[in-house]
């Protein structure tokens, strides 16, 4: 059995060793460089898991190069909008954004989250603002976030854009996971509890077939959610 690691393009060495004991091959995506508008997006990092483990890449235990970048198509936008309109999904996201450091560093520059520079202070101040519970009920949609991106650097709209942009990136990474798993006929596996919960909620809500595995990084134990009654070929709402 093969697995797609999500939502990141790299994983910890301990997680990799655990997963290689459970799965024949592990698929890794390239860094997700989303294009929100022609002028706004994320910049890709060129590193891949195979750069650090060339022998595993050579023997096929690691498979890489799956592209998850560029502008979003219509189905992806619809899937993101469903996540953003889902109160339960939003609550899981908000809890992780406030309390899960690893979740935060997937959305913000980890080198600045724990430094003492002025830029780090600004990010910490932003995170404090984004921790307010009112954000859970704010009516975000992809079009809303695109509009906000035009004034992303203003004191008034900046935090709203950052929260919406974090929502969008998180949702897109999970919808790409569903697409990859169905294309590759593979299990979804992560060592991030929050992302596992979010993907589980998306699949349950949209009746998407997926075997979704959370590997506890502390003890290597699996927690499995097998979702949906459809075969992957029959699931038409993967995002």
What does the pLDDT read at residue 168?
Answer: 97
* Integer Cα distance of 54 and 43 in angstroms: 25
pLDDT tens-digit map of 59-107 = 999 999 999 999 999 999 999 999 999 999 999 999 999 999 889 988 8
Written as one string, the DSSP assignment of 82-149 is HHHT-HHHHHHHHHHHHH-HHHHHTTS-HHHHTS-SHHHHHHHHHHHHHTSGGGGGS---HHHHHHHG
pLDDT for the residue numbered 110: 55
Q: How far apart are CA 9 and CA 104, in angstroms?
A: 16
pLDDT mean across residues, the chain: 87
Identify the pLDDT of residue 236: 35
Beta bridge partners of 71: 35
Would you kindly state where each structural domain of the chain is located, as residue ranges? Answer: 2-73+177-234, 74-168
Residues of the chain with pLDDT under 70: 109-124, 220, 226-239
Distance of CA 188 to the CA centre of its chain: 12
Strands (E), 11-151: 25-29, 34-37, 40-41, 62-66, 70-71
Task: Give the per-residue pLDDT at 192.
Answer: 95
């Amino acid at each position: 059995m093969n697995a797609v690691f999500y939502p990141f393009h790299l994983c910890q060495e301990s997680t990799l060793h655990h997963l290689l004991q459970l799965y024949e091959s592990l698929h890794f995506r390239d860094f997700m460089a989303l294009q929100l508008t022609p002028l706004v997006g994320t910049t890709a990092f060129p590193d891949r898991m195979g750069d650090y483990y060339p022998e595993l890449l050579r023997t096929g235990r690691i498979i890489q190069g799956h592209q998850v970048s560029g502008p979003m198509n219509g189905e992806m936008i619809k899937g993101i909008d469903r996540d953003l309109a889902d109160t339960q999904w939003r609550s899981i996201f908000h809890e992780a954004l406030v309390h899960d450091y690893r979740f935060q560093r997937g959305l913000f520059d980890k080198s600045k989250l724990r430094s003492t520079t002025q830029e780090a202070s600004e990010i910490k101040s932003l995170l404090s603002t984004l921790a307010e519970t009112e954000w859970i009920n704010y009516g975000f949609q992809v079009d809303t976030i695109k509009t906000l991106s035009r004034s992303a650097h203003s004191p008034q709209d900046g935090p709203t854009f950052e929260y919406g942009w974090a929502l969008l990136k998180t949702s897109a990474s999970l919808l790409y996971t569903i697409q990859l798993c169905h294309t590759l006929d593979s299990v979804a596996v992560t060592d991030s509890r929050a992302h596992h919960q979010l993907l589980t909620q998306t699949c349950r809500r949209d009746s998407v077939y997926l075997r979704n595995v959370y590997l506890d990084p502390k003890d290597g134990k699996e927690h499995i959610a097998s979702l949906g009654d459809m075969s992957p070929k029959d699931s038409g709402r993967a995002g």
